[in-house]
Structure 1
Amino acid sequence: MVFEQIATGGCQSYLIGCPESRAAVLIDPEVRQIDRYLGLAAREGLRIRYVIDTHTHADHFSAAQQLARRLDAPVVTHKLSPAPYADLRLEDGELLIVGDLKLKALHTPGHTRDSICLLADDRVYTGDTLLIGATGRTDLPTGDPEALYDSLFNIVLKLDPKLKVYPAHDYKGRGHSTIADEIADNPRLQKRDRAEFVDMMRHLNLSAPTHLTEALRTNMSGGKTVAQMLAEAAATVPFVSLDELADKVASDRLDLVLLDMRERDAWLAGHIPGARHLPRGQLELRVNDELPDPTARILTCCEFGRISTLAAATLRTLGFRRAAALDGGVKLWRERGFPLTVGDSP
């Protein structure tokens, strides 16, 4: 079996392939690693046939939808997954056959109601159901400590003790464990009484994942993250450096339309000399009056450089093909000691 374990912080993804057919599956991909997954598959001569999410992730952004589109491969989830982009929804006990590899789906709700583990040869990919030295939490949407107890003690821990455990998260770099090791050493699994286990899970008092709201929204709906929108916008626009703009301002040769996209109070507190004020929220409404010449060179700026990137992409979509964004923002301009104009003066 071809096997690659890819870590992104504490998140773990797995690329596994059949050495004969070169067919492969990718388990729990993370959006920041898309190019790495594709590079690994190409290096190993693999064709990814399935992209699998073991559950609805709340702490990172799934790359399943984007990879599926690029690879023309189905997204695989449990049948209870809310993701509208899932193409193949597995029932408990069903198999995925990839060349000579067979992956058996075990429905193991508890961390989420759509959680599955994948049994394959000498190992089990446990998602967030069973972690190394821990278990998945049950205090997030669709979590259920009663269901997790059943999934662990009546399903996962009854598997062959020699099976290797590969979870979707590992924060201490241990890579993998075994069923036997977890039964013996996992502190949470020492609470073998159902009531004690459930009470423990209900009183863990864990902090919420950093990207909880956005991760759940995007992973459940297939919508885009803010970072994805910014990356897509940045790929469609050119940028102008702060130094180049500072030279133009200093020599009084601002041969472009400089648009400050911030709100009025920020504009009044200090803006780049020669800039015109056009808040991002009014861009589409005022563009025809403010920018009558579609051939003009336009440079957008904002406080940090993100809103201006989105604005420049919007302008290009509207037909202003010479629109660009400032690389950096007014905050960095200010910190570098470049001149500012206070008040309404341009």
Structure 2
Amino acid sequence: MLFRQLFDAETSTYTYLLADEATREAALIDPVLEQVERDLRLVEELGLKLTRVLETHVHADHVTGAGVLRERTGATVVASARGAPCVSRKVGHGDVVRLGGLELHVLETPGHTDDSLSYLCEGRLFTGDALLIRGTGRTDFQNGDAGQLHDSITRHLFTLPEETAVYPGHDYAGHAMSTIGEEKRHNPRLARRTRESFIAFMKGRQLPPPKKLDVAVPANRACGLGKPLLQT
């Protein structure tokens, strides 16, 4: 598997490029609208064909590049059935997204938002905003639920092999990746903390809303474009 980790400095967002080296089919996970040209240039330089764009959830802190990438390349936009109505393929827990000879396994991990997904591919876990490195996503908007997030992480993610590599949707402290074992032992919100104390901690946080919330959520429900697209 060909793999690249990309970063948007303004929003501290990670975008991931995965490709099957045999067929040259490629996918982008959580692309950022302002980085579309960068991402397409990299796809071209590596001799790939973008066929999938995967979203982990309807983002509140940046506008997705999914719709523009679909228009430019014909790629299929994949996301939760609970999320944006504009996507090409709606998936749920246990579904598989095929990329040439690669298989991306869909895990429903709601709690940060009700439509949050994670994707597992060949020992790499893409967690969006559910599980972050030494942290978690917030749970105070978009139907977030602290108890549900705790259950998603402990029941679906922490049951994976400890060597599973964790690639989050954001990082604000300079970390690029972690592992399931590291997060089970060292994530301060989860390690040695009960479900009840996690819920109390999350409910006690007093955070300002994301700066782009009012713009990003409606835009992302339209795949980052001015109006929703019909399913294809």
DSSP-derived class of the 1:187 partner: coil
Query: 1:214 — aligned with what?
Result: 215
Gaps of 5+ in 1: 226-346
Q: Distance in 1 between matches of 2:193 and 2:95?
A: 29
Q: Deviation at 1:204?
A: 1.5
1:205 aligns with 2:206: yes
Q: Distance in 1 between matches of 2:135 and 2:200?
A: 15
Q: Deviation at 1:191?
A: 5.2
* Higher helix fraction (1 or 2): 1
1:23 aligns with 2:17: no
Query: 1:3 — aligned with what?
Result: 3
Give 4+ residue runs of structure 1 displaced > 6 Å after superposition: none
Letter in 1 for 2:37: D
Letter in 1 for 2:87: A
Q: Tell me the number of residue pairs that the alignment of Structure 1 and Structure 2 aligns.
A: 224
Query: 1:146 — aligned with what?
Result: 147
1:37 aligns with 2:39: yes
Residues 285-339 of structure 1: per-residue CA shift (max 9 Å, x gap): xxxxxxxxxxxxxxxxxxxxxxxxxxxxxxxxxxxxxxxxxxxxxxxxxxxxxxx
Query: 1:275 — aligned with what?
Result: none
Q: Distance in 2 between matches of 1:203 and 1:58?
A: 21
Q: Distance in 1 between matches of 2:104 and 2:73?
A: 20
Q: Deviation at 1:223?
A: 6.3
Q: Deviation at 1:207?
A: 2.0
RMSD: 1.2
Q: Distance in 1 between matches of 2:133 and 2:195?
A: 20
* Higher strand fraction (1 or 2): 2
Residues 136-157 of structure 1: per-residue CA shift (max 9 Å, x gap): 1000121111110110111111
Q: Distance in 1 between matches of 2:178 and 2:224?
A: 35
Contact 1:191 1:197 in 2 (8 A): no
Gaps of 5+ in 2: 227-232
Query: 2:71 — aligned with what?
Result: 69
Q: Distance in 1 between matches of 2:117 and 2:60?
A: 15
Q: Highest CA radius of gyration, 1 or 2?
A: 1
Q: Distance in 2 between matches of 1:179 and 1:152?
A: 10
Question: Per chain length, whose mean CA-contact separation is higher, i.e. which structure has more relative contact order (CA < 8 Å, sep 6+)?
Answer: 2
Query: 1:178 — aligned with what?
Result: 179
TM-score (norm 2): 0.93
